[in-house]
Amino acid sequence: LGNYADLIFVLFDPIGQALCKRTLTLVEQLNKTNPEKMHYYLAKADEAGSDRDRHRVLMQIVQNLCRQPEISKTNFDMPTIYLPNLAKETRCANQIHEVCSTIDHAVFSGVQKSLNILHNDCKRLEQSINERLVLHEKTQIKHRSWSIKLSIVQFISLILVILSSILLLRRYLVTSHHKIPLIYLDESSTSWQINSALNSIDNFLFYPAYPLLLIVIFINGIIFFIGHFIR
């Protein structure tokens, strides 16, 4: 848990077994991995007796801590703290305000670190949104270009369907067993010119197969309707 905590307070009790091997081993392991988080305090300092007794307890604790290889490399201070008791007078200096200052500094640093992380995350989010917008705009441009091309193909397909249908109907009327009386047109008339143009197109593209006309009508019809539904 020391890797996740912002501060690690080690409170030595002058009355209990504060210097037992288990405690010192744990403190050494924490100091090895997180030396910058370690803070040592002498708790219940007002119960340690006189100033001389309190000084002797502090010296004993410091000597035992310095015997540990990892702790001896660290220069540390050990303020005395205790909860004031108005009914009991004591001359021991209470440095609990240093604990409060340390906690305030850690909280401020944590908040500042969180704000910096939030700022960086917002920048990355903004960059990601801009990239998505640019990609979306490029996709829209490609889609519009594809739609224009599809519209052109549909228009050409529709013209071919209409033209093929006219030619197929005309060929059917010409070759039908049910003869239709022919009307001889003057070469200078518009109807004769249209009829001549249809004959030229029919002979150039589709002569002499009916199946070719049907295939052209079918394929172009499929292209037109598929393009209509895709759009």
Contact indicator for 45, 94 with CB cutoff of 8 Å: yes
Structure tokens that stand for 13 in this block: 């009790």
| % of the chain residues with pLDDT over 70 | 68
The answer on pLDDT for 14 being more than 70 is: yes
Domain 8-94: homologous superfamily in CATH? P-loop containing nucleotide triphosphate hydrolases (3.40.50.300)
* Domain ranges across the chain: 8-94, 143-230
For residue range 133-165, list pLDDT tens digits in order.
999 998 888 888 877 877 787 777 777 767 777
The whole-number average pLDDT for the span 104-111 is 90
Q: How far apart are CA 70 and CA 39, in angstroms?
A: 15
The answer on pLDDT for 132 being more than 80 is: yes
Q: Give the side-chain half-sphere CA count within 13 A for 174.
A: 11
Question: Looking at per-residue confidence, does 73 or 98 come out higher?
Answer: 98
Mean pLDDT of the chain: 75
Question: What's the whole-model pTM score?
Answer: 0.52
